[in-house]
Amino acid sequence: MKWRHLLAALAAFSAPVLPASAADWVNEWQALAAKTGFEGHKKFADMLANPAAIALVNDWDAYRGYSARSLIAAAKIPPELKPGLEITAADAGKYPWLKDFLPGPSYDRLMSSDWFRWKKIRIVPTTPYVASRNRLEATKKAGAFSISPKGELLDANGKFAMLTEAGLPYIKPANGLELYWAFLSRGVGNDNAALKPMELVSCLPDNKVERRYLMHLWWQKMHGRVDISPLGDIRGENDTVEAGSIVFLAPRDIKGLSAVRRRYASADKPDSFVGYVPTMKRTRVLGGTDTQDPMTPGIEATWDEWRQSWLKPDPRKFDFNIVGETFILSQPEVGHAYDPAQYASNECELESIDLELRPVWILEVVDKTGNYVYGRRRLYIDKEFHYAQYQEMYDQRGRLWRVLDDAGDFDPATGLWMAKNYVLWNVIGNRYNRITMQADWSIADQDMARFLDVERLRDY
């Protein structure tokens, strides 16, 4: 990325929101839908046009003092980089600025003639992404936050903020640890989440499918709940921040494999991580290093990637540094309307992928122990809503290993979130994982306790 974009971003960060129509992003999406004729584009444009969605964006922008679109408007962006532009390997040379905005690993996939090819990228409008109105009001009321020497997020009274506060911390983070907490605290963007099903296709270097997996996944926020009943706290989860679970439904040889993981607020209390192994008919207590293993053979994602990054922020073990600011092209959070990563007859390459321009901080998390699976993780964290737009994971020798560009399922009317896809690839092994997810929004009306108990998942 060229540093002239960094300088523009730094200047724009302190700039006020630029004058704009109430819904200029809606107009751009409607124009794109008319141009492409793609139903997914029209569907998302209609969602964005909801007056409640527009009002929610405007209120978050007023509180924050800037938006993704205002930062981009204040920067020097090539005039050709606009919604509707389509680029292939054959014509990428016409756009010499492309490497300044498209991360290197993604550019390599666009130009690839062999494994995991991207046949076409298409630019879509930069869209305002926000949290719910209740989360906004809680954030306005939140007290001052601080971070302990152990990396724990504390409230104004010195208590664990993830157990006491509903508001989001560090809207304008001053350092790497504050930025990581801003990212981590948004969770999955919802009080409850369910992905049913999740399908993972594991691809070999020759662009052939190796294995196919089918899973169900659940997630729950235990405190500071503002959108889904029960509000406030989940009874009995006194020191638990959040919990997630997964059960494999296919293939047959691992059907029933399940795991439940609980995150505790204290840095000194390790996660509770238990799994049921059907071939052994046993429940196993898993240790800290087990979170660094792939979820099962053929899957590139480790247990620390099943929620983008679930690494516990302990500055005794890791350094957290903001190493830059820039604009990148990454997948849009349009999963409520369509999947932006489209494949055709070959599931191991992309026929097309929609990308949007986002302003990001570049956060590097560096392992100081030499014992973690990654020597360094680079996260491109969105300046508007603190989501990791893109990730690069490096091994202990400093080599780029895995890359993740995922898409969320964002409901513009409510500001609530789930997930839509993981585009995850291994640049050392030349392997690709395509994970597609279907959000189950009925989870808002269900008791989740049975989904977060590994003994009950045995009979799922």
Do 209 and 332 fall within a single domain? yes
For residue 246, the model assigns a pLDDT of: 95
Whether 168 is in a domain gets the answer no
pTM higher than 0.85 for the full model?
Answer: yes
Q: How far apart are CA 385 and CA 187, in angstroms?
A: 11
CB 411 within 8 A of CB 439: no
For residue 18, the model assigns a pLDDT of: 33
Cα–Cα nearest to 409, from 431, 387, 384: 387
Do 188 and 114 fall within a single domain? no
Q: How far apart are CA 378 and CA 364, in angstroms?
A: 5
Q: Residue written as tokens 């409607």?
A: 30
> Is 262's pLDDT higher than 90?
yes
Do 194 and 108 fall within a single domain? no
Do 321 and 398 fall within a single domain? yes
Do 240 and 97 fall within a single domain? no
For residue 289, the model assigns a pLDDT of: 64
Whether 432 is in a domain gets the answer yes
Do 119 and 189 fall within a single domain? no
Which CATH number do you get for residue 282?
2.50.20.10
Do 368 and 259 fall within a single domain? yes
The CA-based dihedral angle spanning residues 272, 278, 280, 286, taken in that order and rounded to the nearest 10 degrees: -10
Q: Residue written as tokens 């979170």?
A: 291
CB 185 within 8 A of CB 139: no
Q: Residue written as tokens 């104004």?
A: 156
Q: Given phi > 0 = left and psi -120 to 50 = alpha, else beta, which region is 170?
A: left
> Is 3's pLDDT higher than 80?
no
Whether 150 is in a domain gets the answer no
> Is 14's pLDDT higher than 80?
no
Per residue in 435-456, pLDDT (tens digit) is 999 999 999 889 999 999 999 9
Whether 96 is in a domain gets the answer yes
Per residue in 367-424, pLDDT (tens digit) is 999 999 999 999 999 999 999 999 999 999 999 999 999 999 999 999 999 999 999 9
Do 193 and 103 fall within a single domain? no
pLDDT band at residue 20 under the 50/70/90 scheme: very low
Cis amide leading into 197 (omega within 30): yes
93, 172, 194, 247, 322 from 197: Cα distances, Å: 40, 36, 9, 10, 36
Do 100 and 203 fall within a single domain? no
Whether 281 is in a domain gets the answer yes
List the domain range (segments joined by +) for residue 10. 3-123
Question: What is the total count of domains within the chain?
Answer: 2
Do 29 and 107 fall within a single domain? yes
Whether 422 is in a domain gets the answer yes
Whether 112 is in a domain gets the answer yes
CB 190 within 8 A of CB 228: yes
> Is 28's pLDDT higher than 70?
yes
Q: Of 123, 139, 172, which marks where a domain is finished?
A: 123
Do 328 and 202 fall within a single domain? yes
Other beta carbons within 10 Å of 371: 11
CB 187 within 8 A of CB 334: no
Per residue in 46-101, pLDDT (tens digit) is 999 999 999 999 999 999 999 999 999 999 999 999 999 999 999 999 999 999 99
Q: Of 82, 104, 123, which marks where a domain is finished?
A: 123
For residue 292, the model assigns a pLDDT of: 82
Q: Of 123, 140, 168, which marks where a domain is finished?
A: 123
Whether 393 is in a domain gets the answer yes
Do 62 and 208 fall within a single domain? no
Per residue in 111-162, pLDDT (tens digit) is 999 999 999 999 999 999 999 999 999 999 999 999 999 999 999 999 999 9
Per residue in 273-304, pLDDT (tens digit) is 999 999 888 999 987 666 788 778 788 988 88
